[in-house]
Structure 1
Amino acid sequence: MAAGRSLVIVITGASRGLGAGMAEVYLKQGHKLGLCARSSKPSASFYSESSFDDHLLYQSVDVCDEHAVGSFLDAVVEKFGPIDMWINNAGILDPIQPIRNMSYEDFDRNMQINLGGVFKGTKAYINHVRSQPQSTPLKDATLVNISSGAAQKGYAGWGAYSSGKGAVDRLTESAFLEETEDSSSSNTNFRAYAIAPGVIDTDMQVMIRSSSKEDFPMLDKFISIKEKDSFNSIPFVAKNILELALKEGPQTLPVVQRFPNEK
């Protein structure tokens, strides 16, 4: 995939935070963006800039609804053509509390979004890649599932979040093996990554810092990160993710990756 090429990129959970930030970076670079979130009115100001209209499609989509995800994918393809990179970014942090106090309903909601939503997006994108004509296969297709350092081990107070992100890592590894080891597929350069982007100062961090030490014993660590401004910036994360899509040839990097600290 040539570095100067304009890519078609999908980002879920793109109304604010990391998703909106990556979208703004990629739009300013000239890429074509299919964006979705539950919100019908994105909070990010760049969505109102008419200069992006030809490169932007935004829809209100519940990533837990498989039909809605499929319809959104179809709309992106109709406007821009085949999708080069699909980023499953939509996710939630809550509930932040010990498992003994957590309701099953809250746990299940986290799983439906953080794991179920990623599953539906992953499945939709894989089938899109496989549906390309044999004569013109989408050879450089990149799936990115946003994971977390919390996928590597459990954290007190993050029982739901850590469980879901750990499952996302395993789901992504399975998808990569299935698609690259299937001799019936012509898409030999399918890549799949579960990316822990590092700590980014978004609304999710505000939620963490507003929790209690009783519910989240590691609270002081995240307050310290804020005080020291030790965050990874959104442009840094966006750049590193885009580089994965711009690499030519079969995937040689690990499926599960954690980005380094920017500072």
Structure 2
Amino acid sequence: MDRNLAGKVALVTGGGSGIGRATAIAFARNAAAVVVADADAARGVEVVKLIETQVDARAMFIQVDVTDAESVKAMMRSAVERFGAIDMAFNNAGVPDRAASLHVSTQENWDRVMSVNLEGVWHCMKAELDHMLIAGKGAIVNNASRSGLVGVPSDGVYGAAKHGVVGLTKAAAIEFAARGIRINAVCPGLVDTALTRERFGDELLARAQTANPLGRMAQPEEIADAVVWLCSDAASFVVGVALPIDGGQTAR
């Protein structure tokens, strides 16, 4: 079995930047049609144009607010109307924790992180499952985090949301595997994205050198490759996994 996704349709939320952008492009390079969904229209449209012109694959952009169930349902309707199906989904949309400590985190920060990073995944999974259960097949990958596997002192609220994503992933994986739908999660460590650079600033290089046994950050494409694999027939016996992609950080 290989990763050729010809004839398949992939949905990527948060597809306008970072890991989502890299994954949308990776799906396209493996011959899938791609739905790029993002709250930021300019970034999402740019990714679609890149896929169409440089990869020569089919793609469309849909603006979505993953915290709004009706917006997510509308996203799915538009995607299915355009391409006929959604075979694979990467629920990637997320926001960082703006608090340096749980003790100083605000209600606003909690609500923001939970509504996007956890409730947003829940909304997307429900809408995707509505379609995939009728089709009798599908693959879903949720973007969790290393912070969803272990305790990270500076990521209290973010980590709580990502632990929730792992829990949702495992429960749904068990519930729907027998109905032809494989559900897994990826748990990236430090990844070189604009959000990561914004969060850590001048400390990023030093942090990267000590963050894991490899002594470096991951590139978004390294996470994207794992997502494509999990969605492909090459991973047909992989169900309910929360896959660390963190340079060995959680193995310590």
CA shift at 1:77, angstroms?
1.1
Distance 1:252 1:229 in 2: 29
1:184 alignment counterpart: none
Task: Report the CA distance shift for 1:3/1:151 in structure 2 as closer, same or farther (over 3 A).
Answer: closer
In 2, are the aligned partners of 1:95 and 1:160 still within 8 Å (CA)?
Answer: no
Task: Report the CA distance shift for 1:113/1:120 in structure 2 as closer, same or farther (over 3 A).
Answer: same
Distance 2:164 2:202 in 1: 25
Secondary structure of 1:194's partner? strand
Distance 2:72 2:47 in 1: 24
Per the normalisation by structure 2, the TM-score is 0.85
Residue type of the partner of 1:18? I
Per the normalisation by structure 1, the TM-score is 0.82
1:214-248 deviation digits (Å, cap 9, x = unpaired): xxxx995347569x871222222222221222226
Superposed, which structure 2 residues align to 1:241-252 within 5 Å?
241-247=227-233, 251-252=237-238
Distance 2:116 2:199 in 1: 19
Which among 143, 147, 157 is matched to residue 146 of structure 1?
143
1:256 alignment counterpart: 242
* Structure 1 unaligned regions, length at least 5: 182-186, 213-217
Residue type of the partner of 1:13? G
Residue type of the partner of 1:208? R
Q: Going by fraction, where is helix more abundant, 1 or 2? A: 2
* Structure 2 unaligned regions, length at least 5: none
2:192 alignment counterpart: 201
In 1, are the aligned partners of 2:208 and 2:215 still within 8 Å (CA)?
Answer: no
Report the count of equivalent residues.
Answer: 244
Asked which structure has the greater CA Rg, the reply is 1
Task: Report the CA distance shift for 1:236/1:220 in structure 2 as closer, same or farther (over 3 A).
Answer: closer
1:173-195 deviation digits (Å, cap 9, x = unpaired): 111122135xxxxx3x3111111
Secondary structure of 2:42's partner? coil
Task: Report the CA distance shift for 1:36/1:179 in structure 2 as closer, same or farther (over 3 A).
Answer: same
Matched, 1:4 2:1: no
Percent pairwise identity: 24
Distance 1:40 1:177 in 2: 35
Matched, 1:164 2:147: no
Secondary structure of 1:87's partner? strand
Secondary structure of 2:40's partner? coil
